[in-house]
Amino acid sequence: SGLMSSNDKLKVDFTNVVYGTCSTAAAIAAKVITISGNTKWALKTGAIVIVKFSATNTAHNPTLNVNNTGAKRVWYNTELIATSNLGFAGTANRPMIFVYDGTQFVFMGWSIDSNTTYSNMTAATANAAGKAGLVPAPGAGKQNSYLRGDGTWVTPTTNLLATVTGIPLDQVVGKQLKDLHDENAEEIAKINGNFDKIGELKGDYTHLMSNGQMMSANAWYSAGKLTLTPGTWLVIGQINIMTVPNVDAMLYQRIINGDASIVYATDAIYTYQTNKQMVTIVNTDIARDIFIQAYASSPAGVYANAMVAIKFK
C-alpha cells in the first residue's frame, strides 16, 4: 500500500546507507573504513557509505574496504583514481559520500557543510598573510569601492601619482591612458606620412673626402654633399674625427650651402675625437647643394661620416 510501488521501494533502500570513519594514514592506499549503527548495511549495487577521514589521501591507486567487505577501487568523474585527484578518495575532516556501482565505489561529493559560525576574513599585512573568511560588509557610500587585501573597502583613485604600488589602475585612468596613447599614435602616423627620405651618404659613396683621409690643421674639408630639390628639408649630418697623434685640439663641424654660406655650425669641441650630430632646417625654392664640413686645429683623420636629408611633403 502507499504511494510507491514495491519495485520503487527496492530502488530506494534507505536501510543501505551507513556512516563510517577511516583513520588510515595518508600515504597508505588501502583505506579501512569502520561503520557503526546500521547492522543491515551490505555491499551491493546502490549501497551508500558516508565516510569521515582523519587524513587526506596521498597514495596512488587507493581502495576502500568498508566493514571488511573487501578492497574496492574508487571512481571519480569518468575514470578510476590512480595518480591524480587523490583527495577524492579521502579528504581530512570532511564527510564524503560514495556509492557502490557493483564494481567500485563512485565518489559523489561532500556532505553539506552546516558550519554557520564563520568569522570575517583576516586582513594581510606587510609581514603576515591574511586568512579566508566572510567578506566584511561595505558601508553606505561604498557602492563603487573594492575590497583590498588589508580588509578595507577603498574608492579607486584617478590620480596616477596617488596610485598605490601593486594596485592596478582603475578603469577611468586606464581609458585615459589608452586615449592618450591612441592620440599620440595617430599624430606620429601623420608625421611619418609627411616625410620623404631621399638618401644617406656613408662610407665612400659620392663623398668629396674619403673615410680615413687625413686633414691638415686649420682648414675646412668637405666630407659629403647632398642636392636638395625645392621644398622644406630637415638635414642631419655627422662626422667622426680623430686627431693624429692623439692631442688636445679644437674640432668643428658645420653644414654649408653651395654658395659657401653657413647653414649650421657646431661649437668648438675640446677632445681627441668627436661623435657630433648636426641638425638644421633648410627652406629652399630652388635646387641647392648642401655640404657637411669638418675642421681641426691639429692634424686629424675622418674615419666615419654620414648625412641624411628628410623632406616635408
Give the model confidence (pLDDT) of 148-164 as tens digits.
Answer: 888 899 887 655 444 55
Closest residue by Cα to residue 31 from 87, 76, 108: 87
* Residue pair 295/251 in contact by the 8 Å Cβ criterion: yes
In this prediction, residue 21 has a pLDDT band, given cuts at 50, 70 and 90, of very high
Question: Could you read off the pLDDT of 270-280 as tens digits, one per residue?
Answer: 444 555 667 77
- pLDDT higher than 90, residue 23: yes
Cell of 123: 586582513
Mean of per-residue pLDDT scores for the chain: 76
Cell of 245: 697623434
In this prediction, residue 28 has a pLDDT band, given cuts at 50, 70 and 90, of very high
Tell me which of 252 and 53 has the higher pLDDT: 53
Q: What is the mean pLDDT of residues 179-187?
A: 74
Q: How high is the pLDDT of residue 169?
A: 57
Q: How high is the pLDDT of residue 29?
A: 94
